[in-house]
Amino acid sequence: MSNVTSLNEVKTQKVLGDFQKQKLNFDLNKLKNALNEVLKIRGFDTSLGIPHFAAIPLTQIPGDPDSIKGNKARGVYWTKPDSTGVEVSRDVKIDESKYSEFIKDFEHTYFKEVFDELKKHYKLGRVRLLLKEPRSTLSWHRDPEPRLHIPIITNPGCLMVIDNSAQHMPADGGVWVTNNVKYHNAFNGGEENRVHLVACVLDYNFN
Ligand SMILES: [Fe+2]
């Protein structure tokens, strides 16, 4: 009997892996409406220097609008850019824990409710809406901390790859935490934009 239990534990562990579905759930229609509300006020910032990628920050350092500009909307990551396989770091280190203020312009949207609920369960860093254009990919990279995803617009050709595992995260109001501390990538193989709400999570251990 104890052997069965331990086998199940191993199986569960394997299923959980680097993509962990959370017990939280949000209203997909409200998420889509909130995205439309935000887009009426602010377009996606495409000047981040990464092709086919754009962001709208939902949080900032209190009273500091500069904290969400330029490469601070990206943050440090590590990548292996060429045939040498040598790892290099890109961008600047960010003190994620300071990004505690929800952007006032968006306080009337459902995202504020989502933010307040997430805060009850996780220690959050930056919270952003991230756009991935069709037929595009990120670099192969690792980040300083895990990330929480709430897919809002996606298609079957959107997958995230962590190490040697791939996962599609459906837009159904569900919440995922992904192990971005390992090397990973995300691609959009569809023909329309992918939009996720993505938050840095500072107190999540994958083990
Ligand atoms: Fe990443």
Domains of the chain (ranges, CATH numbers):
18-201 (2.60.120.330)
pLDDT the model gives residue 13: 45
pLDDT of 176-206, one tens digit each? 999 999 999 999 999 999 999 999 999 999 8
Q: Are 126 and 64 in contact (CB under 8 A)?
A: no
| Residue where the block lists tokens 């290099």 | 88
Nearest CA among 146, 168, 172, 148 for reference residue 157: 168
Dist. CA 157 → ligand 1 center (Å) = 18
CA dist., res. 194 & res. 169, Å (int): 11
- State in Å: Cα 7 to ligand 1 middle: 32
User: Residue 3 has which token pair?
Assistant: 């052997």
- Distance from residue 129's CA to the centre of ligand 1 (Å): 14
Q: What type of residue sits at position 32?
A: K
- CA angle, residues 107, 128, 103, in degrees to nearest 5: 25
- Is the per-residue pLDDT at 6 higher than 90? no
Can you tell me which residue has the tokens 């959009």?
Answer: 188
Q: How many angstroms separate the CA atoms of 82 and 72, rounded? A: 25
Question: Residue 124 Cα, ligand 1 centroid: separation in angstroms?
Answer: 16
The two structure tokens encoding residue 142: 């690792």
Q: Are 106 and 164 in contact (CB under 8 A)?
A: no
CA–CA distance, 183 with 10 (Å, rounded to integer):
23
Flag the least confident range among 44-48, 53-57, 95-99, 116-120: 44-48
Residues in contact with 124: Cβ distance below 8 Å, sequence separation at least 6, in sequence order = 59, 99, 100, 115, 118, 148, 199, 200, 201, 202
What spacing in Å lies between the alpha carbon of 125 and ligand 1's midpoint?
14
How many whole angstroms from 101 Cα to the centroid of ligand 1?
22
What does the pLDDT look like over 127-142, one tens digit per residue? 999 999 999 999 999 9
Task: Using the mean position of ligand 1's atoms as its centre, give its distance from the Cα of residue 186 in Å.
Answer: 8
pLDDT digits 0-9 by tens, 134-167: 999 999 999 999 999 999 999 999 999 999 999 9
Instruction: Report H helices in 17-150.
Output: 28-41, 110-121
* Cα of 3 from ligand 1 centre, angstroms: 38
Geometric angle at alpha carbon 86, from 83 and 91, rounded to 5°: 110
Compute, in angstroms, the gap from residue 148 CA to the centroid of ligand 1.
11
Q: How is residue 64 annotated by DSSP? A: B
C-beta separation of 199 from 127 below 8 A: yes
